[in-house]
Chain A
Amino acid sequence: MFDAIIIGGGVIGAMCARELTRYRVKVAVAEAADDVCAGASRANSGIVHAGFDAPYGSLKAKFNIAGNRAMPKVCEELGVRYQNNGSLVVAHGPEEEQKLRELLERGLKNGVTGLEILDKTVLAKMEPNLADDVTSALYAPTGGIVCPFQLTIAAIGNAMDNGAELFTSFSVCAAQKTQTGWKISSKDGRELEAKIIVNCAGYGAADIARLFGDDSFEIGARKGEYMLLDKSCAAFVRHTVFGLPTAAGKGVLVSPTADGNILVGPTSVEEDTYDTSTRMEGFVQIREKAETMMKNIPFREVITSFAGVRAYCNRHDFIVGESEIAKGVFHAAGIESPGLTSSPAIGSFLAEKIAARLDAKRNPDFQPKRKSAEWFKHLNTEEQNRIIQKDPAFGRIVCRCEEVTLGEILQALRQNPRARTIDGVKLRTRAGMGRCQGGFCQPSVFNLIMREYGYRAEEVTKNGGKSFVITGGEI
């Protein structure tokens, strides 16, 4: 029996779990996939938005501003890469400049600080590769970038270190009211019980809500395709560069990532199903749109392309709070952009509400810090040497493109939440995320997973389920 079960191991669920463990609350996280961070949190722009875009008075605006302010400290505590690089919305000519001024005003009303509209001469110094016909831009110095998978994984890991339990491959298919709360069942027949349910199921949030009798909202899928460029072009762009937002969202952006690559995308395609396949026309659209904002984008240096599915809600705002229909069920649903930015604020808001409901006291043993996945990388040579003397595994490079050591991979296999797939190791350590895309290190990571878990070769998966790496068996 848990006090609260969070359904969904994405960044929202992760932040809710972490914030709840600040209280004396027994927390479980139920994730349908075989690893956390499997949905939109895994494939998004990684932007910490300043907050000028969301409508004044909306939950989006409120949580965006609060999340933006909370993010640096959260990332510091969790050892997650975050950079306050600032953002630019570019305009071409007077008509678009008028829209910039509207954005500026909305931003000021929302409470965004430091906003200003910059002219061409200033921009040329800040971002020399902007397209020649860009006439001015809205500069938001509070904009930032964060590694979305590290944030998600670290927050769940930290929650687990503080006592939360994680149930992966737990695909919730039924819910039943009990005397004290709710009982949920998974497709594979497992059952969990709690007083409070927190619905952070992303694209699946409306389906989950319906299991509890709440059909008050609908969730749709919007696909976004991206192209990722090699680190060697890191100097190409410093700020996150947006075009003007449209009805379909913030549109294509060109931005450095917290990991030092360059990200170009996303497109925006309405989908009937959860489909993360990419399309040729998507790549064409990305290029065309990006080239209206920046010139000479080094598309030759693409190392991978991918797509993520964002959930969007027919209510056009976040749904955060207790269901009016199903008592004891709290929603964090319809969390489209700026969801990643808002996640720490949504987490603490809901945790406070739920703790009050449970009459739970603060947890004096809560430990906000988590050992960063990259603690070793940040040491100086002398300190690294001291560690290597004690644990030679940190002297062995496994992924040469990202310089990931054996020690770091073993940490990912053993630290909460433990990686058990090729992608799981990749998201935690960056092994396989570099320019060779795992060409050299994948067999090594494969071997390490096999040894750590005692798997047979045929059991190791890329990404859980039936995504087996080897299907031809032993030769």
Chain B
Amino acid sequence: MEERKLVCIECPRGCDLVVRSEGNQIDVSGNFCPRGKKYAQAEVVCPRRVLTSTVRARFGMIPVRTDKEVKKSEMMKWMAKIRALRIDRDVEQGEILLADLDGEGTNLIAAAAYRNQEADNVAF
């Protein structure tokens, strides 16, 4: 039997979780809510995270996030794809900027609207 201690990242409460796994059986304790159990079970099998970053547009940076979690082990790979992206048009919040980022159907979406005009983006 394997035992792992985790801090739940599902909410600011940050529960201390203990995960005991044996074969396909995964027991979780220390969680305050069901999300903690789900998180811990996923974490010992294949940890996943929502990836947030920015994408370079002509007159500024657009904040972006994945609409689902991606594999934690592959985050750096997807960062390279995000970094290579260039935007030269108006973008609405929630718009897909890169479809199927990870080959598992996860899309990269804009977290804020962007107007492709210099006057709208000169930051002070």
Q: Is there a direct interface between A and B, measured as CB atoms under 8 Å apart in the complex? A: yes
Q: Which of A396, A474, A475 contacts B124 (CB 8 A)?
A: A396
Cβ-defined contact, A444 with B83, below 8 A: no
Which chain A residue shows the least CB distance to B79? A475
- B54 CB-CB contact with A under 8 Å: yes
Do A475 and B54 have beta carbons less than 8 Å apart?
Answer: yes
Give the number of residue pairs across the A-B interface with Cβ within 8 Å. 12
| Chain A residue contacts of B56, Cβ below 8 A | 474-475
Q: Using Cβ atoms and an 8 Å threshold, which residues of chain A touch B83? A: 475
Closest to A474 in B: B56
Residue of B nearest to A448 (CB): B124
Give the contacts of A398-414 with B (CB-CB under 8 A).
398, 406
Asked whether B119 is an interface residue with its Cβ less than 8 Å from the other chain, the reply is no
Q: Which residues of chain A have C-beta atoms less than 8 A from B54's C-beta? A: 475
Minimum C-beta distance from A405 to chain B (A)? 11
- CB of B123 within 8 Å of the partner chain: yes
Inter-chain CA distance A113–B107, complex, in Å, is: 79
Closest A residue to B54 by CB, please name it. A475
Asked whether A447 is an interface residue with its Cβ less than 8 Å from the other chain, the reply is yes
Nearest residue (CB) in B for A406 is B124
Chain B contacts of A398 at CB under 8 A? 124
Give the contacts of B45-63 with A (CB-CB under 8 A): 54, 56
Which of chain A's residues 421-475 have a Cβ closer than 8 Å to chain B? 443-444, 447, 474-475
Q: What is the chain B residue whose CB lies nearest that of A475?
A: B83
Give the bracket for the number of chain A residues in contact with chain B: under 10
Query: Per-position contact with A for B57-91: 1 when CB-CB < 8 Å, else 0?
Result: 00000000000000000000000000100000000
Q: Which chain B residues lie closer than 8 Å to A447 at the CB level?
A: 123-124
CA distance A398 to B122 in the complex (A): 13
**Shortest Cβ gap from A262 to chain B (Å):** 30
CA distance A406 to B122 in the complex (A): 13
User: Which partner residue on chain B sits nearest A445 by CB separation?
Assistant: B124
Q: Bound state CA distance, A443 and B83, in angstroms?
A: 22
Interface range on chain B: under 10, 10 to 19, 20 to 34, or 35 or more?
under 10
Interface residues of B in 73-124 (CB under 8 A from A): 83, 123-124
In whole Å, how far is A422's beta carbon from the nearest beta carbon of chain B? 15
**Complex-state Cα separation, A444 to B124, whole angstroms:** 5
In the bound assembly, the distance between CA atoms of A191 and B83 in angstroms comes to: 47
For B123, the closest partner residue in chain A by CB is A447
Q: Inside 8 A of A475's CB, which chain B residues have their CB?
A: 54, 56, 83
Complex CA gap A412/B108 in Å reads: 43
Could you tell me the distance in whole angstroms from the C-beta of B97 to the nearest C-beta in chain A?
Answer: 16
Give chain B residues whose Cβ lies under 8 Å from the Cβ of A396.
124
Interface centre among B54, B83, B123, B124 (most CB of A within 10 A): B124
Rounded to whole angstroms, the CA-CA distance of A398 and B123 in the bound complex is 11
A271-311 contact mask (Cβ, 8 Å, vs B): 1 or 0:
00000000000000000000000000000000000000000
**Residues in A neighbouring B124, C-beta threshold 8 A:** 396, 398, 406, 444, 447
Q: How far is the CA of A406 from the CA of B123 in the complex (A)?
A: 12
Q: How far is the CB of A346 from chain B (nearest CB, A)?
A: 41
Rounded to whole angstroms, the CA-CA distance of A334 and B41 in the bound complex is 74
The smallest C-beta distance from B116 to any residue of chain A, in angstroms, reads: 19
Bound complex: CA of A136 vs CA of B118, how far in Å?
Answer: 64
Residue of A nearest to B83 (CB): A475
Find the A residue at minimum CB distance from B82. A475
| Chain B residues, CB < 8 A from A474 | 56
A126 to B1, CA, bound (A): 78
State in angstroms the CA–CA spacing of A447 and B54 once bound together. 19
Tell me the nearest residue of chain A to B124, going by C-beta.
A444
Q: Which residues of A contact B123 (CB under 8 A)?
A: 443-444, 447
Cα(A443)–Cα(B56), bound, Å: 18
Min CB distance A353 to B, Å, is: 49
Q: Distance (Å) between the CB of A153 and the closest chain B CB?
A: 24
Measured CA separation A475–B54 after assembly (Å)? 9
Of chain B, the residue at the smallest CB distance from A451 is B122
User: In whole Å, how far is B64's beta carbon from the nearest beta carbon of chain A?
Assistant: 12
A232–B54 alpha-carbon span in the complex (Å): 39
- Assembly CA distance A396 to B123 (angstroms): 12
In the complex the two chains form, what is the Cα distance from A447 to B118 in whole Å?
Answer: 14
| A269 to B99 alpha-carbon distance, docked (Å) | 63
- Distance between Cα atoms of A443 and B124 in the complex (Å): 8
CA distance A149 to B123 in the complex (A): 29
Query: Distance in Å from the Cβ of B122 to the closest Cβ of chain A?
Result: 8
Chain B residue with the shortest CB-CB distance to A441: B124
CA distance in complex: A444, B123 (Å): 7
Q: Which of A109-136 contact B (CB under 8 A)?
A: none
Q: In the complex, A396→B83 CA distance in Å?
A: 33
Q: How far is the CB of A451 from chain B (nearest CB, A)?
A: 9
Q: How many Å lie between the Cα of A443 and that of B60 in the bound state?
A: 14
State in angstroms the CA–CA spacing of A475 and B83 once bound together: 7
Question: Nearest Cβ distance between residue A56 and chain B, in whole angstroms?
Answer: 55
Instruction: Write out the residue numbers on chain B whose beta carbons fall within 8 Å of the beta carbon of A443.
Output: 123
Question: Which residues of A does B touch, CB under 8 Å?
Answer: 396, 398, 406, 443-444, 447, 474-475
Closest 3 CB pairs of A and B: A444-B124, A398-B124, A475-B83
- Contacts A447-B124, A475-B83 known; list 10 others, CB within 8 Å: A396-B124, A398-B124, A406-B124, A443-B123, A444-B123, A444-B124, A447-B123, A474-B56, A475-B54, A475-B56
Q: List 12 A-B contacts (CB under 8 A).
A: A396-B124, A398-B124, A406-B124, A443-B123, A444-B123, A444-B124, A447-B123, A447-B124, A474-B56, A475-B54, A475-B56, A475-B83
